[in-house]
Amino acid sequence: MKTFGLTMAMALAGTALPAMAQTPPPPPPPEAKTQAAPYVMAAGKSDLYEINSSKIALEKAQRPEVKRYAQMLIDHHQTTTAATMAAARKAGMTPPPPALDDGATASLAELQNAAPGDFDRLYLAQQVPAHQAALDLHRSYGTGGDQPALRSSANKAVPVVRQHLTDAQRMMKATAKSGSM
């Protein structure tokens, strides 16, 4: 009987906290790291995801620092989108407007449907891998891309994206230490 009680206690402990999925947007395709057209599409998609996810955060985030972070992302990613599109035009391209894929749309839906008490943690948990992928994209294209104007734009985006990643990681660590979100 003692074993049954211990087994039940362990089983219940495992279900005490709800399991939450975390769906980061998918990384860009490998060719986006060196080829202009896929780079422009991937950078635009990344920026659009950041803008849209951060608009959701402005409505749903619980912590003021998360809302400030979200507003910063909106402002910065609107700027990087404009810079990428201008660089693409300078390179002789006619870039299409940024668009989301199914993976990014699923990530946004997850944020939209998140419970208020889970939102901040989930939002930051998506921002870290999204910014890691964006940082890799911009660094890679900045060093090996096929269009000089886009390489320059990519290199200018690197410190911005690096700071976003650092800020998201810092907030996640602070949350883990405090145990709250």
- Model pLDDT for residues 102-145, shown as the tens digit of each residue: 999 999 999 999 999 999 999 999 999 999 999 999 999 999 99
Q: How confident is the model at residue 26 (pLDDT cuts 50, 70, 90)?
A: confident
Exposed e or buried b per residue across 86-95, where buried means at least 16 C-beta atoms within 10 angstroms of its C-beta: ebbeebebeb
The confidence score (pLDDT) of residue 176 equals 73
- pTM given for the model: 0.85
Look at residue 20 and give its three-state secondary structure. Answer: coil
User: In whole angstroms, how large is the CA radius of gyration of the chain?
Assistant: 19
Q: How confident is the model at residue 179 (pLDDT cuts 50, 70, 90)?
A: low
Local structure of residue 95 (DSSP, 8 states): P
Contact 134, 161 (CB under 8 A): yes
The confidence score (pLDDT) of residue 25 equals 79
